[in-house]
Amino acid sequence: MPEPSLLEINLSVVVFMPLVAGVIAVMLPARLARFPVLLAALMVLAYAVVMIVDYEPGLRELQYDTYAEWIPQLGIFYALGVDGLNLFLVGLTALLWVPATLVPAVRTPERPRAFFFHLALAETAVLGAFCAQDLVLFVLFFDLMLVPFYFLIGGWGQGERVRATTKFVIYTLVGSLFMLAGAVALGVLATGPDQEVSFLLADLERRTLGSGAQAWIFVAFAAAFIVKMPLFPVHGWMPDAYRATSIPVLVLLSAVLSKVGAYGFLRIVLPLLPEGVALFQEVVIVIAVVSILYGSVVAFAQDDVRLVVGYSSVAQLGFITLGIFSLDPLGAQGAVMQMVNHGLVVAPLFFVIAAVSARAHGTDWLPRMGGLAVRAPVLATLFVIVAFATLAMPGSPNFVGEILILFGAFETHFVFGLVASVGVILAAVYMIRAFQRAMHGPPGRDADSRELSGLDLATIAPLAAVIVALGVYPQVVLSRTEGATVTRIDRAAAAAGEGQRAEAPRYLSEGR
């Protein structure tokens, strides 16, 4: 392996920078604990922006990678890297951690040293999971994410936070244990008689595994990833967690943490278990389509505005899963773009919910809101921008992502694609309903109309600006994600009899 360059060393630094800041925060006086963690979040964002600008589009190889032996006796290595598949997910994580840290930094929570330590640990865990290029390292970071979110929800939540935390831990821990067993089995069973055990993803892609082993290992990984997203029917932890979690933490839980599961399918399952994917492809597509319809219908029936967004996320993650398992280059690229889009949209939606709730004396109940647009036109404007993006209106990045997913689904599974397209119509119904009930009509009995504060504006407006910018020029994402995304689906598409579609149409990267 070549000696790591400065950028490669910095990739390791950026993963662990938040954790170091969190440790420093623990040692500082409580009133100062917020500053190192906020500074680290800003530095990670700055690095992510430089990485996106510097990234060379079209390449399928890792960039900014770093490699070192960790436990060579077990074939475990410290390997990090970035390609088109995780470039914008790292950027999304860095971007959303800034407002999620800024809000509690201004409105200091109880026990600030512990709070900011867990917030920083969570960022390191998520960045590590996205950057890991060794299977055991990925599992380690994936499981590590559970620890800080357990404390962030249970220690600084509201309402029935103990019940919410218990369900969250039970669901995700069971899924993680399945994945751990599958990861160990994958590394051992894929090792030939003259080979040494290796958990490097690049090594595992070059090795073969029997179809029977692939089948049960696929189920183990799918259990962990579907719970983390979540999809129907293993979303039972979601309603309680969304009600009990504070808004800054909920932004990260919904906008970032859920993407690790979808990313795991593309990074690990499709290239390493192609025959398992082919065997269970239609099963997962059915789960995805049911999640789209179920999430959309239940979102329409909700009066708790948090759960409107929560169930809409189940539907959106169903779209993402449909794009991945279409095993079509268009659908897979749409899934990657929609992962970024969903995070960019759901984060300002929750910050808008926090602002609206504060004007309704703390309630998230839609019937008690109304008439807020009259005296808060800036709030209403930002809300409508984000709502239109959720609706996948033409001109929004969600429109591009959903169109690509539907094209991919129509190309390989026409009937499923046709049924899933109903979800686009249902999204218009539940999001317009939520916007109208919160912003228009007679003022609710608890409504207190006033404009956004400076802090609210600082957290919502930049995210809305990024949404508008990507809607105008989505090629900044598409041109950088094409090569790596197509590479991830090659083997699974061939195993499923879709090998003729393994090359993406060049108009994606050429802008035609």
Rounded to 10°, the helix 161-189/135-144 angle is 170
Q: Containing domain of residue 335, as a range?
A: 282-512
d(C-alpha 85, C-alpha 90), whole Å = 10
Q: Is residue 276 part of a domain?
A: no
In a domain, 397, yes or no: yes
CA–CA distance, 369 with 363 (Å, rounded to integer)? 8
Q: What is the pLDDT of residue 444?
A: 57
Please, how many CA atoms are within 13 Å of residue 166, restricted to the half-sphere of its CB? Answer: 4
CA 61 from centre of chain = 22
Residue 470 domain-assigned? Answer: yes
Which pTM value belongs to this model?
A: 0.92
Q: How far is the CA of 250 from the CAs of 37, 73, 340, 435, in angstroms? A: 18, 40, 17, 20
Amino acid 443: pLDDT: 63
- Report the C-alpha gap between 402 and 318 in whole angstroms: 11
Helix, strand counts (H, E) of the chain = 23, 2
Q: Is the dihedral of CA 401, 403, 404, 406 positive or negative?
A: positive
Contact 237, 172 (CB under 8 A): yes
CB-based contacts of 304: which residues, under 8 Å, 6+ apart? 243, 364, 365, 366
Identify the helix (H) or strand (E) that includes residue 80.
strand 76-82
| Residue of 435, 306, 455 whose CA lies nearest to 381 | 435
Q: Tell me the three state secondary structure of residue 374.
A: coil
- Going from the C-alpha of 340 to that of each of 135, 138, 407, the distances in angstroms are 23, 20, 19
Residue 130 forms part of a structural domain: no
- Report the alpha-carbon distance of residue 351 to residue 250 in Å, rounded: 10
**pLDDT reported for residue 182:** 94
CA geometry: angle at 228 spanning 224 and 232, to 5°?
Answer: 95
Structural domain count of the chain: 1
Examine residue 39 and state whether it is found in any structural domain, yes or no: no
Q: What is the pLDDT along the chain (512 residues), one digit of tens a residue?
A: 444 444 544 788 889 999 999 999 999 999 999 999 999 999 999 999 999 988 888 666 788 888 888 988 889 999 999 998 999 999 999 999 999 999 999 988 899 999 999 999 999 999 999 999 999 999 999 999 999 999 999 999 888 899 999 999 999 999 899 999 999 999 999 888 888 889 999 999 888 888 889 999 999 999 999 999 999 999 989 999 999 999 999 999 999 999 999 999 999 999 999 999 999 999 999 999 999 999 988 988 888 888 999 999 999 999 999 999 999 999 999 999 999 999 999 999 999 888 888 877 767 777 777 667 677 788 888 888 888 888 888 888 989 998 999 988 888 888 888 888 887 777 777 788 888 877 776 665 555 666 678 888 999 999 999 999 999 999 999 988 888 888 888 888 887 774 444 444 433 444 43
Q: Is 336 a member of any domain?
A: yes
Cβ-in-10-Å burial (0-12, 13-18, 19+) of 274 comes to buried
What does the buried/exposed string (b/e) look like for 216-250 if buried means 16 or more CB atoms within 10 Å of the residue's CB? ebbbbbbbbbbbbbbbbebbebbbbbbbbbbbbbb
In a domain, 419, yes or no: yes
Residue 432 lies in a domain: yes
